[in-house]
A and B are shown apart, each in its own frame.
Chain A
Amino acid sequence: MTVLPFLAAAWIFLVGVYGMVTSRNLVHAVGCLAVAQSSTYVLLLGVGFRRGGTAPVFSDIPVGTPVVDPVVQALVLTDIVVGATVTALLLSLVIQIRKRTGTVDPEALSELKG
């Protein structure tokens, strides 16, 4: 089953989105967004995997050893950094929402306030 890792990424993504859709708490929704985003790590690392390859670091293995794709690993690093900063920013927005409206339930945030 060679497509299983890719399908696993899709499954993680859908689970995360399902959590966001049904969320009754904004902190929980931010957590679900992080889950949905982590599916991209699985997808990217799955795309870059080379059977029998090792980590693309040549400090203790001879140059020329088969390694997994380093480009997608660098992309995953970028992904993680951006994901962490987005989570931090969203959580500070949640704190502000809690202060201004007294609730973190997205269902209760239906009306606009001036």
Chain B
Amino acid sequence: MSGRVRKVVFLLAAAVFAVAFALACTGLPHFGTAVHPYGSKAVAAAVRHRTANVISSVNFDQRALDTLGEESILFGSVLGAVVLLRRARDEDRAEPEPGRVLPSTVLLGAALLPVTVLVGGYVVAHGQLSPGGGFQGGVVLATGLHLAYVAADYRVLRRVRPLAAFAALDAVAAGAFTALGLAGLFAGAAYLQNVLPLGTFNQLSSAGLVPLLNAAVGVEVASGVIVLVAQFLDQAVEIESPETPRATGQGEDDR
């Protein structure tokens, strides 16, 4: 299909979509409506389970089974990226060259790294109280660690990031979520039901199972993102693909 035909087909489809969507919008409840039956029920259920952050309550208490699926998707895609980006037979590893870094950059990175990791841990631990939780805090933790790469060097990053340990941690944390759900079964309730003591509203130890699930997700997301970024960094920094020799006329092989 030529580019022109494709554009015409798209414009036709887009016009149909736009008209149908605009018509559907007129049938929706008004923007900013005061009536949110599901929202009101979710807020009431969260307050009953002494969870100040209602979104955490929805994710890790009321719809915890959906979140189990969500974190399994995350785990599966990390696994998929590791398999897709592994070193192929015809590729070599090259030792990365240390680059020149300004001393002020190193200082800033060294000062910010512990602060960022602390903030990440805080966001994970306060998921049941304030905006945040395992997913958000995990990403903060993982990016914080990569300050070692941005502000220093790839070899420094490799020292602060034992990849095999993080890969194992990813799997353990993903399994921990599944295992925590069993607590409900042992207590004679449903899988992933919030059966732990609920604690005091708006205290760190409140909401029963929510902080534990948040911690499991936080560890999983942090180690998953670290493993994921490591695969892409490997491709960019370490792995020498046979492209360079092919460009000069050597190393031609049939694949």
Contact = CB atoms under 8 A, between A and B. Distances in A.
Interface residues of B, number: 57
B122 interface: no
B203 to A, nearest CB: 10
A77 B28 contact: no
21 contacts: A2-B32, A3-B31, A5-B31, A10-B17, A17-B14, A47-B29, A50-B33, A55-B131, A57-B53, A70-B46, A73-B58, A74-B58, A78-B66, A78-B70, A80-B135, A88-B228, A89-B80, A92-B80, A95-B85, A96-B84, A107-B3
- Complex A-B, nearest 4 residue pairs according to Cβ-Cβ distance, in ascending order: A69-B39, A51-B32, A85-B77, A74-B58
What is the interface of chain B mostly: helix, strand, loop, or mixed?
helix
A54 to B, nearest CB: 11
**A interface bracket (residues with beta carbon within 8 Å of B):** 35 or more
Contacts of B58: 70-71, 73-74
Nearest to A69: B39
B202 A58 contact: yes
What is the interface of chain A mostly: helix, strand, loop, or mixed?
helix
Given A21-B7, A50-B33, A67-B54, A77 B59 contact: yes
B131 A89 contact: no
Interface in A46-72: 46-51, 55-59, 63, 66-72
B54 to A, nearest CB: 4
Interface of B: 3, 6-7, 10, 14, 17-18, 21-22, 25-26, 28-34, 36, 38-39, 42-43, 46-47, 52-55, 57-59, 63, 66-67, 70, 73-74, 77-78, 80-81, 84-85, 88, 129-131, 135, 202, 228, 231-232, 235, 241, 243, 255
